Structure 1
């Protein structure tokens, strides 16, 4: 099975490993009941077991892990990380031991379910408390053990993760050419660890899509003095991915990196905290039978809906990155007694 990126640049196919674990292309749907100028890219359907945007990344990331020959995968994220759940599920399928270094976030029922799922799929859970301590544990470990273990940045936002969304942009181009939607004026996506926006922006430029990319920041912009979710961090990953592609295939056309916007207006009280606008978007999207989560997609969907209302002559595509597969029964089978005691309290706590 191939991917549109490899069809556009055949030289890449034998040089970039990938695993066909996503069911692609994901559907395009119009949502006139919400706004006459709104479309949605259903990345919640990337896989029937567990979907969302992380599955696209893992096609390239896990292939790179296997190629590296390293025997263990280490990553980090919040206790409710969707990245952690997806990586737990598919690394277990590939027989790759996974350690997730975790930090605290506000408790919701979704956070509790994700903790159960990571434990259920055999991830070794290492709770460090604060984001700062988790990041320090991750980067110190990478320095000490990077030769033996594969250290994967939070959210899977490496060059390989970025490549997945370059490919996604070429997939979108095929859908536009097939008449499944008109070329959008605006494409909205959440931005936490940068790769979705970086890859889509680069991919749209290479594929000739002229849409304005708008990222909605849903994660902290800085970790202390270190930028983590800013225009510059997105641009840095976009540039690194482009240079990587050009090194493999010098025939890729000279490309001025496509402009994008990163907006902060919907961040609210902080990472993982619901917002009033996000709750409004959740209620609206229930009419289309689409579930949003308060951390990422609700805030982004609110921005897309407001764009539709403020620019009713423009075509808006909302890129839906949340998993829609029902995993409640799987989470219920988690053996909580064997979960690290430091995390059991989060399972028992009342959600917000």
Structure 2
């Protein structure tokens, strides 16, 4: 005999179905939010907006709208007229908080015209190529990679040398990021190669067009190192900024080049992508569970289509605090406690875990990868002493 469904039981069943639907909808929303955040982390930034207002140009100074960048100490650049011009600015001379203005030294106009209007902040200070920006003889070469040729600059040492430095820029950056290191390395007698890697503007795209947080990009750096070895390199110095630091660490772990590396210089490096992803989630108001789910989705083969990657990106493999015992190379680690983009915590933790290998150069006031800008003399002296030891 069939049981009679009472009105109360019907209400309970309806409530359970509704609750189950809400839970399912909530789970789908969480997965969608986590997938979106994961894609944001892995997608290259192609467009850079004009973010700086030029208000007054007056002889040897320029007045700008006040922003965290334009108020930063040190020397920087300004891209003008959609990259058709470039100027260099120095220290802050005056700040007018009431009007939101800051006046800085004008160190020179490299090309184009500096006039009031909008410009784009250039944290690399230098523009163009090593020969134009630094006056150093430069070869324009193509590096053969598994994806095809990738453009690179080679700055030969003044005298014959079997020491080479490979400069690896960061996420969304360009090869110009490495120009700040070229002069001190060249002066130390090293040949310098500044390569591009997959998904750079002007370079080949990877299979998915996404960053892999160093887990695939290291192959292109290995190919740049092979070019150096074929040209006589017997000792290599690897230098990486931000995600370039993560790429360098993967190169040391995965590549045959590691046996030829004698020194490693990391500037504001990503030591642990999990920490960086969690930091940016917090800054952008993304709940911690969504951030954690996004990291998990990146590494799941079943979620490749959701995240948009060809191969899973295992964020755990980028945590060099937990992998500290695997390191075998001497590292100069330059990082500012003022870094707003890649928190300094994992760098300090790695230095504490491996004091036998890691020399920590701690800056107190410099935004992300701007340690050289704030104190170029200290940066260059530290690097020169380290690679000369």
**TM over 0.5, yes or no?**
no
Higher strand share: 2
Bigger Rg, which one: 2
TM-score class normalised by the smaller sequence: under 0.3
- Per the normalisation by structure 1, the TM-score is 0.26
Higher helix share: 1
Which of 1 and 2 has higher RCO (CA within 8 Å, sep 6+)?
A: 1
